[in-house]
Structures are given as C-alpha cells and as structure tokens.
C-alpha cells in the first residue's frame, strides 16, 4: 500500500505505459475498472467534481431505465458543448434576485456584486484561465458579437493586403463573420478569404503547412484568424508559432478560443497574440448563451480603438456624468458597449472560482492522462482488425500527439452511428454526434473521472452490440 501511495500515476511515462504500470501494480488487466478507480483515488483534483451538478441518468430525456440504473450519475462527456452547472451558480443568482427584489435600483452600487461593475470583479479570474493580464480581458456580449467588434478594429484591408487566413472548415459562425467583414469593407470573399485545408487524405492541418502559407502569402494577409482548438477535429494549434509567423509578415493574428479556453493551457499575453475571443458556456461552464470573453494585447492599448462606441467604454469614474464627452478606456475595456447582464455574470463567477482553486497547468496534467486513457481503451478495443473486417472499428481523427490536442477525441466509426448514439443515450451517456459517423468525446479534467471514461468505453461496447451496426461485445 505504501508503494502505491508513493507512486504518482500522473507523471513520467506515456499514458499507455502508466496504464500498464498501474495494472501490473494492481495485478489486474489494463482494461479493468480497477485501473480507473486507482487513477481516481490518486487524482488530486477529484474534489473539484463536487463543485458541479452532474445529471442523474433517469432525468435525461433519452435514457431508458430498463437498461441502466437511472439513479446513477450520467456519463457526461459533452463539456465541449455545454459545461455542467457549478453548484454556486444558483446561490449567486438568488443573491442578486433577492437584492433586486429588496433594494431595486440600489443594487447597481450595493452589495458584494454591485451590478454596475460586476464583470470587473471576475475579469482577473478569467485572465488567469487564458494566460492574460487582467486589463487585456473584457467579459461582454456573445462570442460572435465580440469577434465582429474585434475584426472591425483589426481588419483594415488595403488593395495590397486584404486577405484573411482561416481554416477551410472553421466553425460556421466564424466563417460567416469573416465573410461578412470582408463584404462590409467592400472586398470579395472569393478573393479575400484564404481557406486552409488539410492535405488530401489527411484530416488535420500540419503546423508546417500553416506556417508555410503564412510565409508565402503573408504579404497579402491582413489578419490570420484561427481557432485555438478546432471544434470538430479537436486539434490544438500551435498558437505561439502561428502568432510569431503571422506577425513576422506584418499580419495581425487573432484566435477564437471557444474550444481552448478552460481546456488548453493558453498564454495569450506571453505569445503576443493580437486579439482573441471565446464563449464561456463550453469548458467554462457559465450556462447556455453565457457572457463571452474578448482579449486585446496590452501592446495595442493606445493604438487599437473600437470602431463602435457605447457608454460602457467610457471611464467608470466619469461615466455617469452624462456630459457626452467621451473618456474612452484604453485597450479592450474601451470596446464595451452596454451595461453588464448581472444574471450572466453570476454563473460564470461560480465556475471561474472553481478554476482558480487550481491552475490550468494542473488541469492540463490530469487531462493528458485522462484523454490518454480514453485513447488507450479505444485503441485496445477498436483498432482495425484485418482478420475481422466486419467488426466495427474506430479511427481517431484528433492528433495522437498530446501537444496537438486538448481533452476532446473525435472518433470516426467504420459504420453509421446514429443507432449507436441512440443506444449510448439510452444508457446514460451524454456526448456529441456528427452525422454520419463521428462522435466527439470530451473528458473534462475539471469534473470528469477516469471511471467516467471506463464506463463510457464499456457502454460503447453494449451500444455497438445492441445496435444493428455490429456484434462486438466488450
């Protein structure tokens, strides 16, 4: 027992070797649930799950109580789409609803969370999560709105430099935003959108190819606009290298960190990223449509100005004098337009406080093993077997290099998976399906356990077994 305690399963070798070591130590198979329990017992972040509400299987609309114990917590692997509710969210919301009920307009300036500057209180917590200085971050609006506001200031095309470089399969909202920004400036998206695709037969972009295009085409590129983590493939881009390459060619470099914030270790300030935006309802658990984030690097604080103005960009000290003489705040703070939605600030505060009980570094460390463990089990059971060509197999789209991914694995099945997905849902798995054959699985280090991963793979075996897709038993 002593030697078990002394052994830190989270450091050293690769996840595959770690699984092997632990199973040797326990004298069980590497695929045994005991390995997952061991990891959970030794997980120094396991108490953070207690800060969230995990839905019970019976409460999930598609669950089938004849197949699983409905009183158990569900297997929630879709924090990349909507994070779980932090337990403190309800308390903070009730505090503000009470304050509103009892004091009305006085709530703007009274209490622990005065509404008039409520978002300012949590921007430091937010900045820590994305590796920024507090004054480089503003919480406001929604993600696509912020992307537009930032582009209005950073995308100033000229005849010689009018292109925006982005991924060919960028998230639709980003694609439309870029397209419409180009049109707004009187340019033609056909000429001005430079869309980067993976090489034929490949599913993710190679860093060298991204850097190559920037090197070759950079002189005509005004803005390089990438995601931090690609929503579909789960690829984590080398943001430092892309930033460096783009800026060397005189481009502005911005990132949509919707799938990176709270997932990957970001250093937006140190990398010198020009601007970034992200939503807060995915890995940041603020609830659907939560207040979004925007980042502008300090180096631009006196030079990059907002194209659109509102009273919330005015210095707080004189904002309410209402003399119509603008004292614009510097940097991203000047981009604020409207007063803040306190009811959206509350749940985000609840979540960011949990993030600040640990660090992205510690979360990332757990994440490497958690996702590596998922990868290990998937490979173990579902590698293509030439001897059994009819057995369903799984190809992992997400890069196998852990430095090129966050927590999500995108699994591509050799069979259509609509039916398999339904069987998973009946058994209490929450994950994301993209027709015809991809499941996106996100074990989130903040609240998912190694046992969640083990239960998922086991349930996948039953789901495949009971759907017409295949006959494979776990």
Ligand X SMILES: *Cc1c(COP(=O)(O)O)cnc(C)c1O
* Phi, psi (rounded to 5 degrees) for 270: -60, -35
Rounded to whole angstroms, how far apart are CA atoms 170 and 41? 39
Residue closer to ligand X by CB (options 63, 204) is 204
Alpha carbons 263 and 259: distance in angstroms, whole number: 7
Report the residue from 143, 260, 374, 431 that binds ligand X according to the rule CB under 6 A. 143
Rounded to 5°, angle at Cα 201 from 200 and 204: 85
Determine the interface stretch with ligand X among 210-218, 256-264, 333-341, 350-358 (rule: CB under 6 A): 256-264
From the list 109-117, 170-178, 182-190, 427-435, the region that binds ligand X by CB under 6 A is 170-178
Contact assessment for residue 375 and residue 409, using Cβ atoms and an 8 Å cutoff = yes
Residue 294 Cβ vs ligand X, minimum distance, rounded to whole Å: 12
Alpha-carbon distances, residue 216 vs 158, 193, 209, 238, 239 (angstroms): 18, 15, 10, 18, 19
Of the candidate residues 167, 174, 265, 432, the single one contacting ligand X (CB under 6 A): 174
Does 164 interact with ligand X (rule: CB under 6 A)?
no
Pick between residue 220 and residue 280 the one whose CB is nearest to ligand X: 280
What value does the CA radius of gyration of the chain take, rounded to a whole number of Å?
24
Contact window for ligand X (CB under 6 A) among 148-156, 168-176, 188-196, 459-467 = 168-176
Nearest to 151, CA basis, from 21, 290, 27, 253: 253
Stretch that binds ligand X, among 169-177, 203-211, 260-268, 299-307 (CB under 6 A): 169-177
Q: Among residues 410, 409, 414, 433, which one has the least CA distance to residue 423?
A: 433
User: Binding string to ligand X for residues 216 to 255, with x set by CB under 6 A, is what?
Assistant: -----------x---x------------------------
Residue 351 has which token pair?
A: 């979540």
Are 434 and 386 in contact by the 8 Å Cβ rule? The answer is: no
Sign of CA pseudo-dihedral 413, 419, 422, 424: negative
| Tokens (6 digits) for 302 | 């006196």
- Candidate list 43, 167, 203, 256; residue touching ligand X; CB under 6 A: 256
CB-CB contact of 341 with 175 (8 Å):
no
**Which pair of tokens denotes residue 417?**
């998976």
Minimal distance, residue 344 CB to ligand X, in Å: 12
Cα 231 to the center of its chain, rounded Å: 8
Count of positions on this chain that bind ligand X (CB under 6 A): 12
Q: How far is the CB of 41 from ligand X (least distance, A)?
A: 34
Q: Could you tell me the smallest distance in angstroms from the CB atom of residue 258 to ligand X?
A: 3
Does 258 help bind ligand X (rule: CB under 6 A)? yes
Give me the residues paired with residue 441 across strands: 409
356 is in an annotated binding site: no
Shortest distance (Å) from residue 308 CB to ligand X: 17
Contact, 262 vs 229, CB < 8 A?
no
| Window 266-285: contact mask with ligand X (x via CB under 6 A) | -------------x------
Q: Is 171 in the site for ligand X (CB under 6 A)?
A: yes
Which CB atom, from 177 or from 342, has the smaller least distance to ligand X?
Answer: 177
Looking up tokens 């349930």, which residue turns up? Answer: 459
- Tell me if 120 is assigned to a ligand binding site: no
Length of the chain: 474
Select the span of 55-63, 140-148, 246-254, 397-405 touching ligand X (CB under 6 A): 140-148
* Among 173, 247, 339, 356, interactor with ligand X by CB under 6 A: 173
Q: Rounded to whole angstroms, how far apart are CA atoms 185 and 317?
A: 35
Indicate whether 150 belongs to the interface with ligand X (CB under 6 A): no
Measured from the CB atom, is 167 or 265 closer to ligand X? Answer: 167
Residues in the annotated binding site for pyridoxal 5'-phosphate? 143-144, 171-174, 227, 256, 259, 281, 311, 339
Interface residues with ligand X (CB under 6 A)? Answer: 142-144, 171, 173-174, 227, 231, 256, 258-259, 279
């Amino acid at each position: 027992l002593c030697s078990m305690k002394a052994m830190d399963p989270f450091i050293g070798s690769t996840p595959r070797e770690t699984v092997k070591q632990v199973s040797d130590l326990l004298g069980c198979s590497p695929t045994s649930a005991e390995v997952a329990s061991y990891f959970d017992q030794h997980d120094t972040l396991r108490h953070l799950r207690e800060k969230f509400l995990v839905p019970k299987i019976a409460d999930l609309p598609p669950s089938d109580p004849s197949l699983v114990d409905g009183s158990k917590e569900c297997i929630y692997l879709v924090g990349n789409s909507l994070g779980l509710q932090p337990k403190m969210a309800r308390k903070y919301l009730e505090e503000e609803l009470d304050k509103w009920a009892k004091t009305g307009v006085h709530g703007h300036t009274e209490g622990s969370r005065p509404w008039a500057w409520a978002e300012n209180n949590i921007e430091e917590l937010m900045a820590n999560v994305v590796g920024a200085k507090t004054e480089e971050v503003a919480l406001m609006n929604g993600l696509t709105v912020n992307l537009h506001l930032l582009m209005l200031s950073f995308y100033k095309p000229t005849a010689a430099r009018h292109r925006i470089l982005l991924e060919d399969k960028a998230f639709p909202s980003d694609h439309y935003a870029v397209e419409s920004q180009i049109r707004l400036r009187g340019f033609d998206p056909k000429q001005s959108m430079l869309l980067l695709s993976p090489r034929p037969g490949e599913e993710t972009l190679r860093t060298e190819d991204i850097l190559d295009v920037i090197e070759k085409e950079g002189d005509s590129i005004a803005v390089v606009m990438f995601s931090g983590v690609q929503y579909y493939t789960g690829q984590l881009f080398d943001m430092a290298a892309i930033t460096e390459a783009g800026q060397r060619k005189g481009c502005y470099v911005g990132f949509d960190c919707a799938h990176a914030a709270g997932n990957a270790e970001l250093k937006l300030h140190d990398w010198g990223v020009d601007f970034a935006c992200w939503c807060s309802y995915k890995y940041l658990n603020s609830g659907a449509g939560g207040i979004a984030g925007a980042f502008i690097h300090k180096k631009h604080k006196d030079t990059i100005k907002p194209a659109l103005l509102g009273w919330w960009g005015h210095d707080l000290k004189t904002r309410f004098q209402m003399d119509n003489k603008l004292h614009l705040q510097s940097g991203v703070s000047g981009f604020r337009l409207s007063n803040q939605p306190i009811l959206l600030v509350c749940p985000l505060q609840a979540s960011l406080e949990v993030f600040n009980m640990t660090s992205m570094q510690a979360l990332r460390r757990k994440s490497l093993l958690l996702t590596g463990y998922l990868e290990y089990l998937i490979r173990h059971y579902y590698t293509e077997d030439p001897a059994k060509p009819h057995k369903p197999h799984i190809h992992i789209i997400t890069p196998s290099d852990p430095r090129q991914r966050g927590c999500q694995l995108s699994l591509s099945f050799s069979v259509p998976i609509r039916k398999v997905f339904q069987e998973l849902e009946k058994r209490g798995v929450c994950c994301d399906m993209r027709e015809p054959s991809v499941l996106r699985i996100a074990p989130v280090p903040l609240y998912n356990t190694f046992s969640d991963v083990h239960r998922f793979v086991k349930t996948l075996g039953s789901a495949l077994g009971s759907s017409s897709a295949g006959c494979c038993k776990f």
